[in-house]
Structure 1
Amino acid sequence: MASGTLLYAQSGGVTAVINATAAAVIQTARAKKVKVLAARNGILGALREELIDTSKESPATIQALAHTPGGAFGSCRVKLKSLDEDRAKYERLLEVFKAHDVRWFLYNGGNDSADTALKVSKLAAEFDYPLTCIGVPKTIDNDLAVTDCCPGFGSAAKYTAVSVREAALDVAAMADTSTKVFVYEAMGRHAGWLAASAGLAGNGADEAPHLILFPERPYDEADFFKRVKATVERVGYCVVVASEGIRTADGRFVADAGGGKDSFGHTQLGGVASHLAGRVKDALGYKVHWTLPDYLQRSARHIASKTDLEQAQAVGKAAVEFALKGMNSVMPVIVRTSDAPYRWKIEAAPLSKVANHEKTMPAGFIRRDGYGITDKARLHLEPLIRGEAPPPYGRDGLPKYVALKNVGVRRKLGNWAG
Structure 2
Amino acid sequence: MKKNILYAQSGGVTAVINASACGVVETARRWPDVFGGVFAARDGIAGVLDEALYDLAGETAQAIAGLRHRPGGAFGSCRLDLDPYATHRHEYERVLEVFAAHDIGHFLYNGGGGSMLTATRLAQAAADMGYPLDVIGIPKTIDNDLYDTDTSPGFGSAAKYVAVSTREAACDVASMQATSTKVFILEVMGRNAGWLAAAGGLAERDAGELPLVLLFAERAFDAERFAAAVRERVEHAGYCVVVASEGMRDGQGEYLSVRQKSTVRGWTRLGGVAAQLAELVRMRLGYRTHWAVSDYLQRAARHIASQTDVEQAYAVGRAAVELARQGRSGVMVTLRRLTDEPYGWETGATDLQAIADRERGVPDEFISADGFGITPLARRYLRPLITGEAYPPFRDGVPEYPALRHTLRARRLPQYTPRSGDYYGTVA
- TM class by smaller structure: over 0.9
What secondary structure, in the 3-state scheme, does the structure 2 residue paired with 1:286 have? coil
1:207 deviation in Å? 3.1
Q: Which residue of 2 aligns with 1:198?
A: 200
Alignment length, in residue pairs? 415
Q: Which residue of 2 aligns with 1:378?
A: 379
Amino acid at match of 1:30: R
Q: Is the 8 A contact 2:158 2:305 kept in 1?
A: yes
Q: Is the 8 A contact 1:193 1:360 kept in 2?
A: yes
Amino acid at match of 1:307: T
Q: Is the 8 A contact 2:211 2:239 kept in 1?
A: no
Amino acid at match of 2:83: K
| Structure 1 vs Structure 2 CA RMSD | 1.2
Q: Is the 8 A contact 1:220 1:249 kept in 2?
A: yes
Q: Which residue of 2 aligns with 1:3?
A: 2
Distance 1:313 1:339 in 2: 21
Identical residues among aligned pairs (%)? 53
Distance 1:262 1:398 in 2: 41
Moved more, 384-393 or 398-407: 398-407
What secondary structure, in the 3-state scheme, does the structure 1 residue paired with 2:54 have? strand
Cα–Cα, structure 1 residues 262 and 37, in superposed 2: closer, same or farther, change >3 Å?
farther
Amino acid at match of 1:26: V
Question: Superposed, which structure 2 residues align to 1:325-336 within 5 Å?
Answer: 325-336=326-337
> Structure 1 residue 163 and structure 2 residue 165: aligned?
yes
1:260 deviation in Å? 3.3
Moved more, 162-171 or 109-118: 109-118
TM-score, scaled to structure 2: 0.95
Q: Is the 8 A contact 1:261 1:268 kept in 2?
A: no
> Structure 1 residue 27 and structure 2 residue 26: aligned?
yes
Q: Which residue of 2 aligns with 1:416?
A: 416
Cα–Cα, structure 1 residues 230 and 261, in superposed 2: closer, same or farther, change >3 Å?
farther
Q: Is the 8 A contact 1:164 1:209 kept in 2?
A: no
1:37 deviation in Å? 0.7
1:262 deviation in Å? 7.9
Distance 2:388 2:152 in 1: 17
Q: Which residue of 2 aligns with 1:399?
A: 399
| Structure 2 residue ranges without an equivalent (≥5) | 419-428
Amino acid at match of 1:321: E
Q: Which residue of 2 aligns with 1:388?
A: 389
> Structure 1 residue 229 and structure 2 residue 231: aligned?
yes
Q: Which residue of 1 aligns with 2:367?
A: 366
Amino acid at match of 1:8: Y
TM-score, scaled to structure 1: 0.97
Question: Superposed, which structure 2 residues align to 1:146-295 within 5 Å?
Answer: 146-203=148-205, 206-208=208-210, 210-260=212-262, 265-295=266-296
Q: Is the 8 A contact 1:199 1:209 kept in 2?
A: no
Q: Which residue of 2 aligns with 1:317?
A: 318
CA shift digits 1:294-330 (9 cap, x unpaired): 0000000010000000000000000001012111101
Distance 1:297 1:124 in 2: 37
Q: Is the 8 A contact 2:126 2:132 kept in 1?
A: yes
Structure 1: which 4+ aligned runs deviate by more than 2 Å? 203-209, 258-263
Amino acid at match of 1:171: V
What secondary structure, in the 3-state scheme, does the structure 2 residue paired with 1:373 have? coil
1:86 deviation in Å? 2.0
1:209 deviation in Å? 5.3
Distance 1:406 1:261 in 2: 35
What secondary structure, in the 3-state scheme, does the structure 1 residue paired with 2:145 have? coil
What secondary structure, in the 3-state scheme, does the structure 1 residue paired with 2:262 have? strand
What secondary structure, in the 3-state scheme, does the structure 1 residue paired with 2:2 have? coil
CA shift digits 1:119-141 (9 cap, x unpaired): 11111111211100001000000
Q: Is the 8 A contact 1:164 1:208 kept in 2?
A: no
| Structure 1 residue ranges without an equivalent (≥5) | none
